[in-house]
Amino acid sequence: MRAVVLRDNKLQVRETDDPVAGPGELLIRPLSAALCASDVHYMDHPNSAPRFVWDADRDTIMGHEFVGEVVGHGPDGSEAFPIGTRVTSMPLLLGTGDPHVIGHDPDAPGAFGELMRVSEMMTRTVADGIPDDAVAVVDAFAVGEYYVRVSGIAPGELPLVVGAGAIGLSAVAALKSRGIEHIIVADYSPARLDYAQKFGATVLVNPAERSPYDVWREVAQTTNATWPQVIFECAGAPGLIQNIIDSCEFGTRIFAAGSWTGSDTMVIPAAMHQGLAMQFGGGPHPQDWYGTLDAVTDGRLDPLPAIGKAIGLDDVPDALDQLRRGQGPPRVVVHPTPVAG
């Protein structure tokens, strides 16, 4: 099959071996797949996460956010997913050992190719009428759903979302779905702030012009917001955590959702004196992922405004390079196979 192949730290669009569905697996033809910052992190920082498997001497096909069409069944499969069924799945390929992360493991080829495998146990049918591209970004919006869920944010509290990329937008959408009336979003990009407004942000701040923390204090006073402050860090920029520690209110709850790839420093006594609570990572969990899929299916969430471009396989290497440089729209989707006609 034709695919975007990562091998020996290089990306090429070329032929590679067709995947073969094993027991309890489906063979699917990807219809739409989304680029993600974790794809860049996997290439540039291959040992940043223990669950990611890296082998420079084998072909790896990325793409862990996807929707596809069933084209084959592995041995001992069920009849739950007939040929031609549109399906999606959390990006986990189950087996007899530890699960493989689809798109981040040579043994679990992802959606930046013409064929891929998924586990029946993780698979869900996509309802008729739901756009392929909307399903392809479910994984991204499940991330924000997870962080907002575990934050326990309640009506009357005033969130500050730092960063309006893919994760930030998903956090805004999750906050809006919970009826949070005032949502402050900070980003240096006017275009990304516009995207945030589409998903429910009510106060937009460019940190080059005003301190987001001063804005938070002003809005908190005018809206009688419940304290403490709640901050969703969604940028993953070096030095950002310490900047938040130095700038936020006493007792702030911080949820570090940014796509971090390596180490950073923070002054622990400063965090202690501020009485901060901080949570890193951990999601999304299945309830967040499949709950987000249900929200898209039911019409409670429309993720399409986050998508700024659709490309083919040949354009993936350049698009990933743009993502590496922090350029382009929040979400780019890939259509791995040309549409007939």
Picking from 117, 98, 120, 119, the residue whose alpha carbon sits closest to that of residue 108 is 117
Q: Distance from CA of residue 24 to its chain's centroid? A: 26
Question: Could you state, in chain order, the average pLDDT of each consecutive group of 10 residues for the chain (341 residues)?
Answer: 94 96 96 93 74 86 97 91 97 84 94 97 97 97 96 96 95 97 97 96 98 97 93 92 96 90 87 94 90 97 95 96 88 84 40
Are residue 124 and residue 149 in the same domain, yes or no?
no
Are residue 80 and residue 166 in the same domain, yes or no?
no
Handedness of CA 29, 64, 103, 6 (dihedral sign): positive
Are residue 27 and residue 57 in the same domain, yes or no?
yes
Alpha helices in 90-164 (DSSP H): 132-136, 138-151
77 phi and psi, to 5 degrees? Answer: -80, 165
**Whose structure tokens read 């071996």?**
17
Is residue 7 exposed (0-12), middle (13-18) or buried (19+ Cβ within 10 Å)? middle
For the entire predicted model, the pTM comes to 0.92
Are residue 25 and residue 131 in the same domain, yes or no?
yes
Are residue 272 and residue 149 in the same domain, yes or no?
yes
Are residue 126 and residue 149 in the same domain, yes or no?
no
341 in a structural domain: no
Are residue 87 and residue 179 in the same domain, yes or no?
no
The pLDDT score that the predictor gives to residue 282 is 76
Are residue 48 and residue 146 in the same domain, yes or no?
no
Q: Which domain holds residue 131?
A: 2-137+303-334
CATH number of domain containing 12: 3.90.180.10
Picking from 29, 135, 127, 20, the residue whose alpha carbon sits closest to that of residue 77 is 20
3-class SS of residue 28: strand
Q: How many of the other CB atoms lie within 10 Å of CB of 197?
A: 17
268 in a structural domain: yes
Are residue 27 and residue 131 in the same domain, yes or no?
yes
Are residue 262 and residue 208 in the same domain, yes or no?
yes
Is residue 232 exposed (0-12), middle (13-18) or buried (19+ Cβ within 10 Å)? buried
The pLDDT score that the predictor gives to residue 119 is 96
295 in a structural domain: no
The pLDDT score that the predictor gives to residue 341 is 40
The Cα–Cα gap between 316 and 84 comes to: 26
287 in a structural domain: no
The Cα–Cα gap between 160 and 231 comes to: 5
**Is the bond into 284 cis (omega within 30 degrees of 0)?**
yes
Are residue 326 and residue 198 in the same domain, yes or no?
no
Number of structural domains in the chain: 2
The pLDDT score that the predictor gives to residue 96 is 63
CATH number of domain containing 190: 3.40.50.720
